[in-house]
Structure formats: structure tokens, C-alpha cells
Amino acid sequence: MRSRIRSRERVSWLVLAIAIAGVANADEPAKWLERMDHALSTLNYDGTLAHWQGGKVEMLRIVHRVQDGTVSERLVSLDGSGREFIRVGSKLTCYLPDKHVVLVERTPAKVSLLGEFPAFNKQTSRFYDLKEVARMRFDGRNTHLITVMPRDQYRYGYRLWIDDSTAMPLKTQLCDGHGKVIEQIVFARLKVRRHIPDSAFRPGISTAGFRWLRNDSVPVKETVAQSGMVWSAGHLPPGFHMAARAAQTMPGAPGPVDHLVFTDGLASVSVFVQTHAEQPRGQAPKVEAARVGSSYAFSTVVDGHKVTAFGEAPAATVRFIANSVKGEKVSTPAPPVTLGTLPPGPFAHSSPPN
């Protein structure tokens, strides 16, 4: 009898141990995403990476430094366009030699030139499955293969090979709902350094004869006072909400442009609203759509305003959000909503496509 009781106790303790281990393992992938985000934002590193998108490969160099609380970054195209992006704090300078233009604008100080990689919380767990698929060697390093896969058709998924020692993402894949790779980023060389000199953040091209453009944000009150409209969205795809609302001047635009950001915690879609000519009576609003790399853009006309939605998300999501945007006439300006800002994705620009 005693032996049976002891056997049952052993089985019970074994089941409990397995259950506890299961809970710990379930939390581990989320912890690796946290470590990766911390590494990307706090380490000093210099790397060369291959960016694959739409059947084309571009080699880039990324330099990242945190010094005295200020983040400096430089992203350089090593082939192709030769473009450079240099960010110091909230100031972003874009050198575009193929267009002979330098664009200077303000950007959220915490947004990296590499874009935002997946973070995981209770909100996102409702719409994504997070797993550690394997532990494997990649480019001579031990890595954790983490997958973040969507539960519906409104978002993309990720596969990430995270370095065991530095927590840097050595390889990243953006995938559709069927697991097909849409975009891939692979580090060919990566060095974590104690010190990176100021010279690493100077442009490597001459800007003689270039045209300089400045894209500075303006107060929301001015935009509302001019248009008399506050823009928002009604019904949204599951899990999406408005995370930010602001206004900014943009090259080529006749006046300030309203900028809304919608996110589910991982994916994000930017919506730009600007004054547009009225549609003739009886004529349907003109719509335009285009795929820009891994991002999708969709434009339509709402109440005499051009609404352009742009984001690293499936076409159905971008169209859904654009068609949900509506304006409300107000007599007093509405305050800005700044719950946080998210860029469309790695290497994506915050401005709408031309």
C-alpha cells in the first residue's frame, strides 16, 4: 500500500514539475523578444546586412551608438541608390543622391532606422501565436528561432533568429499568413563595440548642388483651425486602435497634413489626410493602390480630402483602415493624441508614397 502511495506521489510531483516547466517555457519566447528590443536600443554596434525584398537584394551598413543618453544612427546603402540616413536624437537627415536632395525632419527619438521589431504583451497575444521553434547554429552563433504568427488575415508574421550572447536579431523574416517570406534581413557582419567615434555618423557623400528640404511638425491646432475637421476612424480591423494623431508639413503639400497612426501592438498603418479637390457630382471617388516593397498604399477621397493609408500590413488591412477614416467638423481644435508612434516597419519612411 505504501509503495502505491509513494508511486502516486511521484507521479503527482512529476506532473506538477512538467506543468511548471511548461509555464516557464511559454514565457521564454516573450523574454527573448524583450532582450532583443533592449539590445537593439542600448548596444553600440556596427554591422553590414542584406535586405531582401521583392526579389531584390540590397546591402546596407548600420551603425548605432548610445552616448550620454543620445542615440545616433547611420544607415547607408552600399549598392543601388547610395542613400544615407543619419539620426541624432529626434533629428533625421536623409541624403538622397539619386534625387540630389537632402531631407531633414523630426522623428520620435525612440524609433530606430531599422524599424520596430515585434514586442509581445497580453493585447498582441490575442492576435498572434508566439513560439520558440528551435535552438540552432546560425553563422557560427547559437540562436533562438522565435516565431510570431498571425491568427487572422489582417496582419503579417515574423521569424527571428536571436543571438544567444548579444540578443541581436541575426536574421529576420516578415511572412504572410501562410508563412511565405515577404521580406528578409540578414546580418553578414555584426560587431558590438564599447566606443564608436563621431566620424562614423558623418555622410560619405558630397552634398554640393543638392536641394535641402525641411519637414517640421506643426501644432495640430493650426490644422484644425484651417480645415475645421478632426479625423478619426470608425470600425477597425480586430485589435487595431488609434495610437497617435498629429499634423506635419510635407514637401509638395499645399498645407499641413493630418497624420494618424493605427496599430495592433505589432503592425502599424499610417494615414495621411490632406485637402483635395471636390469630386464632380455623380462621379465615384478616385482610388489608387500600390505595393511599395513589403508595404501597401491605398488612397481615396473622403469629404473633399485625399486619404492615403500606408503600412507594412496586408492589403485588406490597409484598405479597411483607409475606408474607415472620417472627418468631424468642430468649432474648437482637438488636442493631439500621442499614445505612442510606430513606423510602418524596417527601413520604411514615415511619409506617404508619392
What was the pLDDT predicted at 332? 56
Q: Are residues 156 and 106 in the same domain?
A: yes
- For residue 142, being part of any structural domain is answered with yes
- Do residues 195 and 237 share a domain? no
Band of pLDDT at residue 85, cut at 50, 70 and 90: very high
Has residue 230 got a pLDDT over 90? no
Name the residue with higher pLDDT: 156 or 81. 156
Residue 208's pLDDT band (cuts 50, 70, 90): very high
In a domain, 13, yes or no: no
Q: Of 275 and 326, which is predicted with more confidence?
A: 326
Answer yes or no: do 147 and 241 share one domain: no
pLDDT of residue 236 exceeding 70, the answer is yes
**Binning pLDDT at 50, 70 and 90, where does residue 234 land?**
confident
Helix (H) or strand (E) holding 76: strand 70-77
193 and 270 assigned to the same domain: no
Residues 48 and 171 in one domain: yes
Show the domain range for 179.
40-201
What are residue 338's phi and psi, to 5 degrees? Answer: -130, 75
User: Is there a contact between 297 and 315 (Cβ–Cβ < 8 Å)?
Assistant: no
279 and 181 inside one domain = no
Q: Lowest mean pLDDT: which of 152-161, 262-271, 330-339?
A: 330-339
**Exposed / middle / buried, residue 184 (Cβ in 10 Å: 0-12, 13-18, 19+):** middle
3-state secondary structure of 2: helix
Please tell me the total count of domains within the chain.
2
Can you spell out the DSSP letters for 126-163? GTEEEEEEEEEEETTEEEEEEEEEESSTTS-EEEEEEE
What does 191-244 look like in DSSP terms, one character per residue? EE-S---GGGGS-SS--TTPEEEEE-EE-HHHHHHHH-EEEEESS-STT-EEEE
pLDDT beyond 60 at 54: yes
Q: Per the domain annotation, does 344 fall within a domain?
A: no
Task: Count Cβ atoms below 10 Å from residue 118 Cβ, excluding itself.
Answer: 22
Lowest-confidence region among 59-63, 206-210, 226-230, 236-240: 226-230
Residue at 62: amino acid letter: I
Q: Do 264 and 155 form a contact (C-beta atoms < 8 A)?
A: yes
Q: What is the DSSP letter of 291?
A: E
Given a contact cutoff of 8 angstroms between Cβ atoms, the answer to whether 66 and 42 are in contact is yes
Residue 347 lies in a domain: no
Tens digit of pLDDT for each residue in 135-167? Answer: 999 999 999 999 999 999 999 999 999 999 999
> What's the CATH number where 126 sits?
2.50.20.10
Taking the C-alpha atoms of residue 11 and residue 16, their distance in angstroms, rounded to an integer, is 9
Summarize pLDDT for 179-205 with one digit per residue, the tens: 899 999 999 999 999 999 999 999 999
Q: Looking at 184-188, 206-210, 324-328, which range is the least confident one? A: 324-328
As a residue count, the chain comes to 354
292 CB contacts (<8 Å, ≥6 apart)?
310, 353
* One domain for residues 273 and 195: no
C-alpha span between 30 and 118 (Å, rounded): 10
Instruction: Let me know whether 99 and 192 are in one domain.
Output: yes
For position 211, what pLDDT does the model report?
A: 94
Residue of higher predicted confidence among 94 and 340: 94
Give me the chain's average pLDDT, please. Answer: 81
Contacts of 23 (CB under 8 A, 6+ apart): none
Q: Is the dihedral of CA 136, 137, 142, 145 positive or negative?
A: negative
Per-residue pLDDT at 240: 94
Question: Which residue in 269, 264, 23 sits closest to 128, CA to CA?
Answer: 264
What distance in Å separates the CA atoms of residue 66 and residue 79, rounded to the nearest whole number?
Answer: 27
Q: Quickly state the pLDDT bin for 302 (edges 50, 70, 90).
A: confident
Residue 326 grid coordinates = 472620417
Query: What pLDDT shows up at residue 207?
Result: 92
For 98-115, how does the pLDDT look when each residue is reduced to its tens digit (9 = 90+)?
Answer: 999 999 988 876 678 887
Mean pLDDT of 18-40: 73
Please report which confidence band the pLDDT of residue 217 belongs to, taking 50, 70 and 90 as the band edges: low
Mean pLDDT of all residues in 339-347: 37
Residue 230 and residue 184 in one domain: no
Query: Domain check: are 243 and 179 in the same one?
Result: no
The helix or strand, by DSSP H or E, that contains position 23, with its residue range, turns out to be: helix 2-42
Q: Does residue 172 belong to any structural domain of this protein?
A: yes
Better pLDDT: 106 or 60: 60
Residues 63 and 151 in one domain: yes
One domain, residues 180 and 49: yes
In a domain, 27, yes or no: no
